[in-house]
């Protein structure tokens, strides 16, 4: 059973589940080795479509500008992300890409998984029936966000072409040279 306790503060309330609860001790052993968070096939093989949807609602997002699904797996190193990528392919038939981002303030690389194209559609099909309404924007169903992303992208492209005349001229010269050489 779970041992809950509640604390009421002036600005917010807090629900605390004690760390020494036997359920959490077992999960901690599964997810942490020598104080470092790890991922394994043993853990991933426990994931069904409902668990996948919950994981996505927590750590995933639909990137409207690039029309991709992203699952933020920054708490795992590259090796952990490679294990997850392989699991997605072998267990679900979904191809993912490992993307890297660098955070200056921590001076550290972080990773996330990206899913696009037909694999993104397959992923959404697996989880959409489990998504709660308030989280459906995370699978691309928010038309306002979609239109906003198109508008921002269009503005950015126009601004880039206006502000980068030297690059624009070089692009057209290269394009012209390549097309007239054929």
Render pLDDT for 88-143 as a digit per residue (tens, 0 to 9). 999 999 999 999 988 888 888 899 999 999 999 999 999 999 999 889 989 987 67
Q: Which of 61-70, 75-84, 85-94, 168-177 has the weakest average pLDDT?
A: 168-177
Closest residue by Cα to residue 96 from 52, 30, 140: 52
The pLDDT confidence band at residue 13, using thresholds 50, 70 and 90, is low
Distance CA 98, CA 115 (A): 9
DSSP for 41-105 reads HHHHTT--HHHHHHHHHHHEEEETTTTEEEEE-TTS-HHHHHHHHHHIIIII----EEEEEEETT
Residue 16 sits at the vertex; the CA angle it makes with 13 and 19, to the nearest 5 degrees, is 160
Distance CA 126, CA 152 (A): 30
Distance CA 53, CA 61 (A): 11
Q: Rounded mean pLDDT of the chain?
A: 83
pTM greater than the 0.95 cutoff: no
Tokens at residue 21, please? Answer: 């609860």
Phi, psi of 34 (to 5 degrees): 55, 40
Q: Residues 77, 60, 98, 108: is their CA dihedral positive or negative?
A: negative
Strands 97-103 and 60-63: unpaired
């Amino acid at each position: 059973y779970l041992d809950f306790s509640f604390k009421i503060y002036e600005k917010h309330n807090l629900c605390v589940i004690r760390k020494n609860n036997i359920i959490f001790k077992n999960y901690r052993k599964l997810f942490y080795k020598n104080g470092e968070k790890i991922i394994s096939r043993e853990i991933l093989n426990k994931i069904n479509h409902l668990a996948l949807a919950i994981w996505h609602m927590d750590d995933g997002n639909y990137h409207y500008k690039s029309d991709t699904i992203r699952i933020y797996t920054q708490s795992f190193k590259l090796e952990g992300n490679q294990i997850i990528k392989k699991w997605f392919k072998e267990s679900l038939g979904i191809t993912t890409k490992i993307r890297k981002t660098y955070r200056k303030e921590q001076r550290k690389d972080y990773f996330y998984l990206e899913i696009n194209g037909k694999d993104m559609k397959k992923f959404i099909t697996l989880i959409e029936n489990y998504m709660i309404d308030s989280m459906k924007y995370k699978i691309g169903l928010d038309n306002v966000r979609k239109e906003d992303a198109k508008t921002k992208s269009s503005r950015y492209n126009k601004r880039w072409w206006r502000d980068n005349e030297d690059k624009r001229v070089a692009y057209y010269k290269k394009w012209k040279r390549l097309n007239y050489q054929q």
